[in-house]
Amino acid sequence: QVQLVESGGGVVQPGRSLRLSCAASGFNFPDFGMHWVRQAPGKGLEWVAVSAYDGIGTHYGDSVRGRFTVSRDNSKNLLYLEMNTLRLEDTAVYFCTKERTPRVATSNDAWGQGILVTV
């Protein structure tokens, strides 16, 4: 079955950096676009970033563009989120999530359990 496991969260001071990882299993990772979505405490969902299946196409939410970088290692089934110049408002649970359809962007059908980042 599909599994997505985030790691790398924790407490960090404003202005510092942190890198999240997401280990994927149970599906052919190189065929699927992968996203990061976050949720501030008590708030709604905010889309953060996407890496296309080949890692070449990326897009970012307005609030993180220029500070965050999404990347992937298809040989290791890993997705990353490099977060720089962190702000208080970046405090959230970060979810790794998978596209439903290979090589097509439609919806997010599997989610990790989330990892807390506290700035």
Partner 1 sequence: EIVLTQSPATLFLSPGERVTLSCRTSQNIYNNLGWYQQKPGQAPRLLMYETFNRATGISDRFSGSGSGTDYTLTISSLDPEDFAVYYCQQRHEWPITFGQGTRLEIK
Residues that bind partner 1 (CB under 8 A): 35, 37, 44-47, 50, 59-62, 95, 97, 100, 105-109, 111-114
Find the shortest distance in angstroms from Cβ 46 to partner 1: 7
Nearer to partner 1, 31 or 109 (CB): 109
DSSP β-bridge partners for residue 112? none
Find the shortest distance in angstroms from Cβ 108 to partner 1: 6
Nearer to partner 1, 62 or 75 (CB): 62
Find the shortest distance in angstroms from Cβ 75 to partner 1: 26
Cβ atoms 68, 57 nearer than 8 A: no
**Separation CA 24–CA 109 (nearest Å):** 13
The DSSP secondary structure of 3-62, one letter per residue, reads EEEEE--EE--TT--EEEEEEEESS-GGGS-EEEEEE-TTS-EEEEEEE-TTS--EEE-T
Nearer to partner 1, 66 or 75 (CB): 66
Find the shortest distance in angstroms from Cβ 54 to partner 1: 17
Nearer to partner 1, 16 or 87 (CB): 87
Which residues are CB-contacts of 103 (< 8 A; sequence separation ≥ 6)? Answer: 31, 32, 33, 53
